[in-house]
Amino acid sequence: MKKVVILGAGSGGTLLANLLAHEFRREIEDGAVGVQLVGEGDDHVFQPGNLDVAFRGSDPASVVRRESSLLKKGVLQVTEGAAKVDLEQRVVTTRGGSKIPYDHVVFATGAVADPGLMPGLREGSLNFHEGPAEAARIWAALQGFEGGTAVVAITRVPHKCPPSPNEAAFMLDEFFRRRGTRGSVKIKFVTPYPRPYPAEQVSDVIQPLFEKRGIELVPFFAADHVDAKAKKIYSMEGESVDYDLLIAVPPHRGAEVVRASGIGDEEGWIPVDSRTMKVRDHPEAYAIGDATSIPISKSGVVAHLQAEAVAGSLALELRGGREVFEYNGRINCPMETGLRRALFVSGTYDSAPRRERPTLLRYAMKREFASIYWSTIQGGWSWLMDAYFGETSEPHELPA
C-alpha cells in the first residue's frame, strides 16, 4: 500500500484528503492506496467567521462543524494530533504514541496565534485569531463599551488573514455607528507597516477610507509589550499608545509538531519550494497553507489552491509519473470595508494586487462564499472555483 499522511485538518488538509479520496477511490477500496488525516480533535472552524462572532454577535457554534462529517469515504481520520515527524525514516508519531509510516506526507499544520509570545498581551487584549470562543469575548466587551479609545493592533508579522485587522477596524466603526455612539469612540489602527495594508495598491484604497471614517493610523509601530494595568501598548522604541479596549492580532508561530521535529525555521515556518510546495531536501514531503515560510497571504484561499496543486502532484507521483503541479502564487482575500462594502486582494507571484473599489457586489460575494465553504472543502463547487480563479497550477516535469 502507498500511504499519504496529511497533518492538519484545517481548510487545506481537509480539502486535500477529500480530493485524494475521490481521485483514488478504487485504489483505496482495493487496499493499494491509503489516505490518513491527522488532526487535533473533531472540531473544524470556519476561521473567517470569527469576525462575525466578534463584531456582529454570531453564535460561536455557527462557525464550527464536526470534521468527521466533512470527510469523504476512504479518509482514515486520527484525532489525537501529531507530536513528531521523522522525515528520514518517514514516520509520524502521534500524541498518543502511535507510529504512522508513510510514503508521502503533507504538512497542513497551519499557524498558531499565541498571545503568550508578547509580555502583557494575554492579560491586556482580546483577539479573534485564536478561535470563536475568544472572538465572543470581543462581542461581550463591546456591549458595555460606551466611549473611549478602541485600538486595533497588529503586534507582529506574519499572521493569518492579512486583511482581517483592517476588517476589524471597519467593523468596529460600523458597530458604533449603528449603535449611535461613534462620536464618543476614538478608533486607532496600530501597525508595524508604513501604511494601513502591506500592499501599496490596496493601501491606496484603504487609507482614504480610514480618513473618511475617522480611523486614526499609527504606522511604524513595532509592538514590544503591553501594560494591562496602565492600558498602554509599547513599541520597541519606547513609544506608547493608550487604549480603553485593545483588540490585537497576536504573534503567530508554526505548529508545535513542526518545531518539535526540527523541520521549520526558528518560528516554526516550513521552507518549501514556492511553486511545487515540496519541503526542501525532502521530495516525498509537501507543506501547504499557513504552515509554510512563503511570504504570501496566510489564508484559506491560498491553502485551498495549494491543496489542489498538491493533490494533482500526488495523483501523478503515486501512479509513477515524473510531473508535479506548480502553484502560481494566486491569492484572493476578501476584505470588508464596513457598511456592506468589500473588495478583494488578488494577485500572483508575478502580479501585484491591484487597486479595487469596494462594492456591494463584492460584499455579497464574500458573504456567499461563507455559505458554501463547507461544501468547497469537501471538493464541491470545484467548477465554480476553477472558473473564478482561472488556472492556478499546471504540471511540469521533475528534473532528472
Q: Per-residue confidence at 26, pLDDT binned at 50, 70, 90?
A: very high
Q: Per-residue confidence at 289, pLDDT binned at 50, 70, 90?
A: very high
Domain count, the chain: 2
Q: What per-residue confidence (pLDDT) applies to 264? A: 86
Those residues whose C-beta lies under 8 Å from the C-beta of residue 102, and which sit 6 or more positions away, are: 3, 4, 5, 36, 90, 91, 92, 284
Residues 91 and 142 in one domain: no
Residues 213 and 194 in one domain: yes
Residues 209 and 173 in one domain: yes
**For the whole model, what pTM was predicted?**
0.94
Query: Is-contact 337 169, C-beta < 8 A?
Result: no
pLDDT tens, residue by residue, 211-229: 999 999 999 999 999 999 9
Domain that holds residue 134: 114-252
Higher pLDDT, 370 or 28: 28
Give the highest mean pLDDT range of 51-60, 257-266, 382-391.
51-60
Q: What per-residue confidence (pLDDT) applies to 323? A: 84
Mean pLDDT of 83-107: 97
Residues 217 and 277 in one domain: no
Residues 208 and 281 in one domain: no
Mean pLDDT of 382-391: 64
pLDDT tens, residue by residue, 30-70: 999 999 999 999 999 999 999 999 999 999 999 999 999 99
Cis? peptide before 158, omega within 30° of 0: yes
Those residues whose C-beta lies under 8 Å from the C-beta of residue 30, and which sit 6 or more positions away, are: none
Which amino acid, one-letter code, is at 246? L
Q: Is the pLDDT of residue 283 over 80?
A: yes
Give the highest mean pLDDT range of 180-184, 297-301, 321-325, 365-369.
180-184
Domain end position, chosen among 187, 222, 252: 252
Domain end position, chosen among 204, 235, 252: 252
Spatial separation of the C-alpha atoms in residues 108 and 37, rounded to whole Å:
10
Q: What per-residue confidence (pLDDT) applies to 79? A: 96
Domain end position, chosen among 235, 252, 269: 252
Q: Is the pLDDT of residue 115 over 90?
A: yes
pLDDT tens, residue by residue, 196-208: 999 999 999 999 9
Mean pLDDT of 101-127: 97
- The proportion of the chain whose per-residue pLDDT surpasses 70, expressed as a percent, equals 95
Those residues whose C-beta lies under 8 Å from the C-beta of residue 309, and which sit 6 or more positions away, are: 277, 325, 326, 327, 392, 393
Residues 25 and 142 in one domain: no
Q: Is the pLDDT of residue 237 over 70?
A: yes
Mean pLDDT of 185-203: 97
pLDDT tens, residue by residue, 70-94: 999 999 999 999 999 999 999 999 9
Residues 296 and 245 in one domain: no
Residues 217 and 241 in one domain: yes
Mean pLDDT of 303-307: 95
* All three cell numbers of 389: 480563479
Q: What per-residue confidence (pLDDT) applies to 80? A: 93
Spatial separation of the C-alpha atoms in residues 118 and 23, rounded to whole Å:
44
The CATH number for 209's domain is 3.50.50.60
Q: Is the pLDDT of residue 190 over 60?
A: yes
